[in-house]
Amino acid sequence: MEFGMKRVMASVQAIAVLDTIYNGAPVTIAAVSKESKLSISYLEQIFKQLRRGKLVISHRGPGGGYVPRDGEISVSEVIRAVSKAPENTAFDPVLDALDLVLVSQLKKK
């Protein structure tokens, strides 16, 4: 199973930061980088996978960036978008439990 725990943790952190600083206008990778302390090039790789997983929407051009998709996003959705976790394995109960943990619940207090 190719999983990449570092990438999973960074991806959850990145989308939580996006969710926190999103105010209706697209958020740049640079803004997420500044808040998360993750490099822009690493975040570009992560956001490419998040976009492919339909968790974020990209906007090109001046004023462009990323916005979270409509609706709540669970931690398990992020994991599935950025990893190659196989279906029907011993890890499924963990992902099922993480379906109940929303990215919006991970905001710093």
Angle between the N-to-C axes of helices 5-21 and 40-52, in degrees from 0 to 180, rounded to the nearest 10: 90
Q: How far apart are CA 30 and CA 41, in angstroms?
A: 10
- For the record, the structure tokens of 29 come out as 């990778």
Sorted by where each begins, the domain ranges of the chain are: 5-106
State which amino acid sits at residue 63. G
Q: Examine the pLDDT at 103 and tell me if it is beyond 60.
A: yes
Instruction: Give me the pLDDT at residue 91, please.
Output: 81
Q: How far apart are CA 30 and CA 76, in angstroms?
A: 25
Q: Examine the pLDDT at 1 and tell me if it is beyond 70.
A: no
Q: Output the pTM of the full model.
A: 0.87
Instruction: Give me the pLDDT at residue 109, please.
Output: 52
Instruction: Give me the pLDDT at residue 5, please.
Output: 84
pLDDT tens-digit series, residues 29-58: 999 999 999 999 999 999 999 999 999 999
pLDDT tens-digit series, residues 56-102: 999 998 889 999 999 999 999 999 899 877 777 788 888 889 999 99
Q: What's domain 5-106's architecture?
A: Orthogonal Bundle (1.10)
